[in-house]
Amino acid sequence: NTAEFAMREELALKAAILAEKFAPNLSWYVDVILQLIDKAGDFVSDDIWYRVVQFVTNNEDLQAYAAAKAREYLDKPALHETMVKVSAYLLGEYGHLLAQRPSCSPKELFTIINDRLPTVSSSTVAIIISAYAKILMHTQPPDAGLQQQILAIFKKHESYIDVEIQQRAVEYFELSRKGPALADVLAEMPKFPERE
């Protein structure tokens, strides 16, 4: 029933708050929140995954660790859409930090994210499209095959029913053809202001 649903969402939020407040270290916090998202996906509000993204963005030494954890979760056959969102975001922003690790080349990161694309809602498609643009930008030296795959996805989404996705696809496609402009526009996210 609806009361039970609300209680579960509130319980997930309280667990996230307690994890943040009493975390012995930041990697433990990332582990716990990603487990919470994985196990209680339907009951995890967007605020929870936004907060883990803020933590990772504001702590440079945590970025490669969080991206590696996100990569691990994408190996699971069944995954809640919230986990796809956070994983795609983290791999788009910080996947390049994993380039030397096995199964973490830009092409492999693209493939594992792209496997989820047909199964997600428009809000997640928008995050995935941005992740593709970031992967494209960070791939050095450029991989022509990967670039063609990503550009084909941008082209396909130029006529998508959701206007925001259309706009992203058109802009990323045009920016990717301009070379250095893509890096300027898609620079790493700045640190978030600290919450009190």
pLDDT above 60: residue 2: no
Distance (Å, whole) CA 169 – CA 110: 16
Q: Report the percentage of the chain scoring pLDDT > 70.
A: 92
Q: What pTM, to 2 d.p., does this model score?
A: 0.89
- Average pLDDT over the chain reads 89
Q: What is the predicted pLDDT for the residue at 104?
A: 93
pLDDT above 70: residue 3: no
Q: What is the predicted pLDDT for the residue at 12?
A: 86
User: Residue 186 corresponds to which amino acid?
Assistant: L
Count Cβ atoms below 10 Å from residue 110 Cβ, excluding itself: 24
Write the pLDDT tens digit of every residue in 17-41: 899 899 999 999 999 999 999 988 7
pLDDT above 70: residue 195: no
pLDDT above 70: residue 172: yes
Q: Confidence band (pLDDT; 50, 70, 90) for 153?
A: very high
Q: What is the predicted pLDDT for the residue at 9?
A: 83
Q: In sequence order, what DSSP letters do the residues of 95-106 get, joined into one string? A: GGGGTTSTT-SH
Write the pLDDT tens digit of every residue in 104-122: 999 999 999 999 999 999 9
